[in-house]
Structure 1
Amino acid sequence: MNTKQGRLGWLFTSPYLIYAVVFFLIPLVWSLFLSMTDWNLISPTFSFVGITNYTEAFQSPGVKAAFFVTFKFLAVFIPLVVASSVIVALIVKGLPKYKGIFLIGFFLPYLASGVVSSLIVKGLLSYNSPINEFLRNSLGLDIDWLGTPFAALFVVAVIIAWKFTGYYALILTSGFESINKEIYEAAMIDGVSAWQRFWKITFPLLYPALYTVLILSIGVTFGIFTEVYQLTGGGPNFATNTWQMEIFTRAFSNLQAGYASAIAIIASVVTFISIFIIRKIIELWGKRNGWD
Structure 2
Amino acid sequence: MPTVETGVQRMITVPTPPLRHQQLILTIYGLYGRRGGGALPVSVLIEMLGALGHDAPGVRSAVSRLKAKGVLNSVRNGGAAKYELSPRWLEMVNEGDERIFAPHRDAPGSPWVLAIFSVPESMRERRHQLRTELTRLGFGSMAAGVWIAPSGVREGAKRRLANRGLAEYVEFFTGDYEPEGDMRARVAQWWDLEALQVQISEFMQYYGSSLADWTAEVGGDPAAALAASGPELRRDAFRYYVPMLTLWRRLPYSDPGLPLDYLPEGWQGPEARRIFFGVHELIAPMAEAHARSLVDDAEAA
Q: What TM-score range do you get, normalising by the shorter chain?
A: under 0.3
- TM-score relative to the length of structure 2: 0.24
Q: Which of structures 1 and 2 has the bigger CA Rg?
A: 1
What TM-score do the two structures reach when normalised by structure 1?
0.25
The structure, 1 or 2, with the larger RCO (C-alpha pairs under 8 Å, 6+ apart) is 1
Give the strand-richer structure, 1 or 2. Answer: 2
